[in-house]
Amino acid sequence: MSDVLDDAADGRPLLEMRGIVKTFPGVRALDGVDLVVRPGEVHCLLGQNGAGKSTLIKVLAGAHRPDEGDIRWLGEPVSLANPDASITLGISTIYQELDLVAGLTVAENIFLGHEKSRGGLVKRAETRKAARSLLSRLGHSEIRADREVGTLPASGQQIVSMARALSHDTRLIVMDEPSAALDQQEVKTLFRVIRDLTAQGVAVVYISHRLEEIRQVGDRVTVLKDGRTVATDLPAKGTATSELIRLMTGRDIEYVFPDRPQADATAETVLSVSDLSVNKVFADVSFDVAAGEIVGLAGLVGSGRSEILEAVYGARRPSSGTVTVDGKRLRAGSVGAAVKAGIGLAPEERKSQGLLLDQSIYQNITVSSLGRFARAGFLSGAAERASALEWTQALDVRPSGVTRPVRTLSGGNQQKVVLARWLLRDCRVLLLDEPTRGVDVGARSEIYTLIRSLAARGLAVVVVSSEVEEVLGLVDRVLVVREGRIVHSGPATEIDEHRVLDLVMEGSAA
């Protein structure tokens, strides 16, 4: 660690990337990108989906080799030919889509590939002890080292990934959307850990779509647009949000929500949830959603918000309570019954739970409606493509066309594909879990407008979001969830952000 502090003291850049170019078939992902990172700083990397951020960090991680450009480490030219070369230098990368092995324990994941062993045998007790030490350093000693990592919630898995990064002799940590699955308290812990690391001379490259985080944790900012560096060395705390948005998008965008229509007291109830409970997860949850209404669930990660949606969708079997759509009670714990009744779910983990990434756009849209495309026992691909094209055009999915793999789309356009799937089924109830997670600032307003327009067509919409501002700005009515119970229900216009935070932290009833 003393070497890291010495590097910080002599003023040399830790990392210099100059003129980095990376081309894939038909796409120039990076077109001469520059990035300079100093020891002990938090360098924020901003850009819309498709700007080149992911490709750049994969070059840095040794997963991609650049076609052109120069990379220097402490002033010396280096070749990051593979991930091992990057790790050997002291570069650790935590990707947004966590690459943990679900069947292994927390400790085994943390030390995967560099196990503590002797004579070819893994020293399990020493591995668990070292894992516990790293988890304690991150403020999460409650995560058991011998627990199977696949049983942890998204926030717990994020912490394990951070512990794995710290298990190496790390001098630079790249964090791609590290707060996406964390609640506010966990974000504070994350920032505390980052400050501890930078105080020791470790550098952090921090990627986030949450611009308010940049001001809290960042030192300098580099902005990418269309594979090019459009600004660098910007002060994180001294650059206006409007300027960052202008640099990212090339235009001025106001971070605004669509107009909230006047409540329709005559609208019929579409979704009714009564005394719904799942043992040890949430209890006695009741709410109604009318046609054209958007209801938001606000609360901390782990409060039961997502699990409530899963139970309504039939993915969790409730221990008690009922779900009714258009007056018809659904069979408990049956996804098939929920889908048949017109309930659609866009899950929090869009890529792993909501999409078939290697399949085409049209196949992702039609997968829940294949029966309507069957002709004499065979699927009509032409009919599938035609129907999918109609919805991608209606939702303005970009780029156009429905035969490309869905993984090639940006986060915002992938979310539109998930929505198109349920609209194709004439969905009556739409459940949206973190609908703008991983969506850039330019596409967020588009998603908000789309959600509001779907409600205007008569859908009943339920939204879960970790961002209180998003809940209050988008929805008509807010349900605040704490420790598995609804502690507040009322119009969004009658509660502010401070009151919501008070409720989720203290649990006082309203």
Strands 343-346 and 460-464: unpaired
Percent of the chain at pLDDT above 90?
A: 54
Q: What is the DSSP letter of 237?
A: T
Per-residue burial over 466-494, b = 16 or more CB atoms within 10 Å of its CB, e = otherwise: bbbebbbbbbbbbbbbbebbbbbeeebee
Task: Tell me the residue type at 435.
Answer: P
Residues of the chain predicted below pLDDT 70: 1-10, 49, 119-120, 181, 183, 251-256, 505-510
Q: How far apart are CA 446 and CA 424, in angstroms?
A: 20
CATH class of 1-90+207-253: alpha beta
Cβ neighbourhood burial of 440 (10 Å; 0-12, 13-18, 19+) = buried
Give 359-419 as a DSSP string. Answer: SBHHHHHHTT-GGGGEETTEE-HHHHHHHHHHHHHHTT-SS--SSSBGGGS-HHHHHHHHH
pTM over 0.85: no
Q: How far apart are the first and last CA of the chain?
A: 50
Q: How far apart are CA 247 and CA 185, in angstroms?
A: 30
Contact 328, 306 (CB under 8 A): no
Cβ neighbourhood burial of 379 (10 Å; 0-12, 13-18, 19+) = middle
Helices (H), 72-173: 83-89, 106-110, 124-137, 154-166
pLDDT at 68 (0 to 100): 96
Instruction: Give Cβ neighbours of residue 46 (< 8 Å, ≥ 6 apart).
Output: 53, 207, 208, 211, 214, 221, 222, 223, 224, 244, 247, 248
Cβ neighbourhood burial of 355 (10 Å; 0-12, 13-18, 19+) = buried
pLDDT at 507 (0 to 100): 44
In the block, residue with structure tokens 């986030």 = 208
DSSP β-bridge partners for residue 173: 92, 204
Give 416-458 pLDDT, tens digit per residue: 899 899 889 889 999 999 988 877 777 788 889 889 999 999 9
CA distances from 42 to 39, 176, 206, 281, 487 (A): 9, 13, 7, 37, 38
CATH class of 268-342+428-510: alpha beta
Backbone angles phi, psi at 4, to 5 degrees: -65, -45
Contact 445, 399 (CB under 8 A): no
Count of beta carbons in the 10 Å neighbourhood of residue 56: 28
Question: From start to end of 265-393, where are the E strands?
Answer: 269-278, 282-290, 294-298, 320-325, 328-329, 343-346, 374-375, 378-379
pLDDT at 510 (0 to 100): 41
Cβ neighbourhood burial of 10 (10 Å; 0-12, 13-18, 19+) = exposed
Contact 366, 384 (CB under 8 A): yes
Q: How far apart are CA 350 and CA 353, in angstroms?
A: 5
Q: Where in the chain is the domain with CATH 3.40.50.300?
A: 1-90+207-253, 268-342+428-510
Give 4-71 as a DSSP string. Answer: HHHHHHTT--SEEEEEEEEEETTEEEEEEEEEEE-TT-EEEEE--TTSSHHHHHHHHTTSS--SEEEE
